Structures are given as structure tokens and as C-alpha cells.
Chains A and B, each alone.
Chain A
């Protein structure tokens, strides 16, 4: 596709529910990133994939957060047993290939609200 596509745009869940957020990167992009952006803050890194390999998950805040990219294209970020502090915008970004020093291009994000 022309840009990074994320769905849903908005998600409201009750505390304790599981949620799944989807990211469809720019076609052919090898690197895929997830960031979490709280209100009034800059995005914070969660995890990074190169093709299907998850090379860095140092930013995942707890073991309730899980990400996958099984075929090296679409990625899903799953949050189990959601808490109110999980409320944020979740941004996905992609870039052409590792080591190319190309900028990351972002999707519009999923705004997650936990009630």
C-alpha cells in the first residue's frame, strides 16, 4: 500500500479484556516498529522486527504485551488483561531495510481507551 495502515483507528475496552492491534507496513519494508504515545508525550519504543524476527522487545512494559509478525509483513500487537495505564495511542512504523539509514514512516495509530 501507499502508506502504513493501522486498524482499528479507535478501540475502547473494559479493564481486564484482551485487545489486538494490527499494522500493515509499506509494501516491501523489512523493518517494523511499534511505539506507544501517551497524551502530551513523544512516542516511546516498544518493539522492533526485521522481517519475521523480533530483534528488540526491550520497550514492552510488561509480559501482558506481545507482538508478532509471522510472515514478515503484517504485525499484531496484543495486550492481555488490559489496565487503565495502557490507554494511549499505539503507533506502527516501517522502514525499507536494516542498515539503510532510511527514515521510519508512521501510520495514523490506534487510540486505545481502557475503561
Chain B
């Protein structure tokens, strides 16, 4: 059964700090790993990672995947109060029939950035 474990589950930092969020996974026939940010509403897409060792970057956020060790990290530098949210990690694995693109999510990391 596919599985995603995120750590820490909760994190409180001060504005300006740098944070690293962790995601480890077990999945059959790995296709991709995705990071989402969830505030009060819809999870919003951040990154999709398919290849090991290639960093994806968007402003102060970056992420990288290690397919050998089965984990990914999400880094946020110079945190701002607007970064406060739950960060969700999800994996997509192809089943034996090659179908279904369902995502398996971790429980999320709740990040609180204090001024």
C-alpha cells in the first residue's frame, strides 16, 4: 500500500527564518511527487517532481527529490507570515493496470510564521 509520511507535523518559526519540510514515501511504480500549500481553502499546487536531484524553485520556495532514498524536501527561505499554512506532500503511483492517477497524501506539516 502506498504511503507518505511528513515531518514535522507542526512547526513554529519567526519571520525571516529558513525552514525545511520533509516527506518520505513508499509507492509502487512511482510517477511523481507533488507539494501543495493549503490555507483555509483549496490545496494550491507548488511543485511536481519526477526526477532525482533536480531542484525546482519558485521565489523563496524550492524542492528536491531523492528517488533512491525515497524522500523529498521543501525549503522556504526568509519566511513571511503569509507562508503560514499546511504543506501537503503527495505521491502518484501507477497501478498494475497502468491506470488511475490518484494521489496519496501525507498528513501535512502545519507551519506557523510569527512576526
Contacts and interface: CB of A to CB of B under 8 A. Distances in A.
Interface of A: 3-4, 31, 33, 35, 40-45, 48, 55-56, 59, 91, 95, 98, 101, 103-109
Contacts of B102: 33, 45, 48, 56, 59
B104 A101 contact: no
Nearest to A6: B42
Contacts of B106: 42
Contacts of B88: 42-43
Nearest to B43: A106
Contacts of B45: 103-105
Contacts of A4: 42
Given A42-B88, A103-B48, A98 B101 contact: yes
Nearest to B102: A45
Contacts of A48: 100-102
A42 B34 contact: no
Given A43-B103, A91-B43, 6 more contacts: A42-B4, A55-B100, A101-B32, A104-B101, A106-B44, A108-B41
Contact of A43 (B31, B32, B101, B105): B105
B115 interface: no
A4 to B, nearest CB: 7
Interface string B75-90: 0000000000000101
Contacts of A42: 4, 88, 90, 105-108
Contacts of B32: 101
B10 to A, nearest CB: 10
Interface of B: 4, 31-32, 34, 36, 41-45, 48, 50, 88, 90, 99-108
Contacts of A91: 42-43
A55 B99 contact: yes
B42 A106 contact: yes
7 contacts: A33-B102, A35-B105, A41-B108, A44-B105, A48-B101, A101-B50, A106-B36
A70 to B, nearest CB: 20
A37 to B, nearest CB: 9
